[in-house]
Amino acid sequence: MEYRNKLVLAPMVRVGTLPFRLLAAEYGADITYGEEIIDHKLVKCERRFNEKLGSVDFVERGTGSVVFRTCDAEKNRVVFQIGTSNAVRALKAAEIVCKDVTAVDINMGCPKSFSVSGGMGAALLTKPDLIHDDTVELARRIEKTGVTALAVHGRKVEDRPRDPAKWSEIADVVASLSIPVIANGDVFEYEDFQRIKVATGTSSVMVARGALWNASIFCPKGKLPWEDVKREYVRKSILWDNDIKSTKHTLREMITHHSSLELAEGKAVIKSESLIDLARLYGAENYEVVQN
């Protein structure tokens, strides 16, 4: 895959499942990341073709739970992100999914405790035997490993989402590398894609919260009403039998940004126990809920 001049859906835990990735792609995303999957979990999975859905499922042995679901429609677009603290185990995990995705990404940026405590995500930035601590030198060293592209979030580990993204520091990385750099941070409107490109010198942009709040941010003609986006997300969740907890989490995040969970819609989502309940709530009853 070519990583220049691309609009990218960022990896988001419990959000970046198949329905949301397909939703973002429908609205204009060129590349869609799945949620981070820990290598320990993936190596316990076996690949299965789901005839009812027409999907490829990676199912955990023993529990039967679907850890990752994809389909042919996104094969040339989806990036699988691995959370890892061990190169050998990461390679083993990548080999399991590599034929069904367009690329594999190693998470080296997540500052959340569940990643850092396991030596993954941003914890990798503190290991001098693996990488340098200085941002530009780190990027150069990563480039030398042979990676195809590098996504850079314009924040430090200790920064919080409310802190402004440091686009100028992304620009320093872009200037130091020859491989494509994907800039990430504070993209909330379609116009921000061009703004961050100009500020950083990169041609590809990744968006997380802006897409979560309204996935139609990728539309050149402007965002669609978020009510329509929510309804389409629920329809896709039903069509692809998405995990109810994941679907509810995503809807709650959308509602929290635009409204309040204390109002009728939020309370109804929280009380919903199945995709059928959500179908009724959002007027998507004409979509059959597939029971695996």
Centre a 10 Å sphere on the Cβ of residue 150 and count the other Cβ atoms it contains.
20
Quick check: 90 and 84 in contact, CB under 8 A? yes
> Which token pair is 38?
């820990």
Q: Report strand pairing: 181-184 vs 204-207.
A: parallel
Cα–Cα dist 229/223, whole Å: 9
Q: Assess whether 98 carries a catalytic annotation.
A: no
> Which token pair is 166?
């440091």
Q: For tokens 């990488």, what's the residue?
A: 131
Side-chain-side CA neighbours of residue 138 (13 Å): 21
When computed from its CA atoms, the radius of gyration of the chain, rounded to whole angstroms, is 19
Quick check: 9 and 32 in contact, CB under 8 A? yes
> Which token pair is 112?
């959340």
Side-chain-side CA neighbours of residue 49 (13 Å): 4
Out of 45, 98, 110, 219, pick the active-site residue: 110
How far is the CA of 89 from the CAs of 39, 101, 194, in angstroms? 7, 18, 38
Cα–Cα dist 291/66, whole Å: 13
How far is the CA of 157 from the CAs of 112, 137, 151, 163, 268, in angstroms? 9, 17, 15, 11, 36
Mind telling me the catalytic residues?
110
